[in-house]
Amino acid sequence: MYARTATASLVAAALLGAGALLLIPHSQATDSGTDTAAGARMDTSTEKVIRTVVNTRAIPTPGAPVVLAHRGASAYAPENTLAAVDRANHLGFDWMENDVQRTKDGVLVVIHDTDLKRTTDVEKVFPKRAPWAVKDFTAAEIARLDAGSWFAARYAGTRVPTLAQYLDRIERNDQNLLLEIKSPQSYPGIEKETLRVLRQKGWLNPGHVRYRLVIQSFSADSIKKVHQQRPDVTTGFLGTPAVADLKAYAAFTDQINPSYASISSRYVAAAHALKGAHGRKLRVNTWTVDDAATARKVDGFHVDGIITNTPDVVRRATD
């Protein structure tokens, strides 16, 4: 969660109360409004607590929505790349949103579009391979592509990361993950494979599962599969179900994550009135908000989180 820059006195106070701040049980954190998109990140290590508080990331802004960096800080670096993750980290944001798909040879990669045209030089490198779908290329072939020059010359040579590489980077940066399973209908079994990679990289241990990970999708069936296979994992549905249908979604998900243009304060209140799959208030994270006026508007709806390409703009607007 983003936190305002702390003064020396605030840091001192936070250090004195670090245990109380960081070690609130997840259910209490949710009810008190101090958790993040998946629940406030907790760690029982004193060293970790002190380091986190000094970095000011664990000091919550009461009542403010969580700011989630959409595909990383993608207004300032090429989306879904490690550069975008690092840029978000530099700006002081913990929650990263990303997209996962599968290559021809079964490797999970982080990219949004189902084809490689918009964000890589695939048409130049493989001119005869139209329509350049992600699923038609091997991981080694995708690793050859330049995924940064389209954005800015200084990012030339940036690569499409594998999910494993992406997880390593956000772990190194001490960040959290809102992971979208993209177009699951094109990748049968991707839910199980995503969970396998998360497990291999340590992201399905209790600490990550409870406080640092959310898996979402536009596909209700995909989210149901995740919930069935790992009922402990926090899940989110991307979309705006009718209010009458929210109860049915709450049986298998913890978040309703709709487009900002599709919601109102009444809709958010209807979601909040329900308990999600883990018995906590159904949360609402809205997307994709990139300007201050819209950020203030949805903040007035009392959303729990705002997904944005410009996290610094949203942070200032809702601070």
Residues with a known catalytic role: 70, 112
Could you tell me if 167 and 177 are in contact, meaning their C-beta atoms sit under 8 angstroms apart? Answer: yes
How far apart CA 263 and CA 248 sit, in angstroms, is 18
H helices present in the chain, as ranges: 8-16, 18-22, 26-32, 46-54, 82-91, 122-125, 139-143, 163-172, 190-200, 206-211, 220-229, 246-250, 265-272, 292-300, 311-318
Could you tell me if 121 and 145 are in contact, meaning their C-beta atoms sit under 8 angstroms apart? Answer: yes
Q: How far apart are the first and last CA of the chain?
A: 12
Please return the burial class of 279, using the count of CB atoms within 10 Å of its CB with bins 0-12, 13-18 and 19+. exposed
Longest dimension (CA), the chain: 63
How far apart CA 142 and CA 148 sit, in angstroms, is 13
Sign of CA dihedral 95, 170, 72, 48: positive
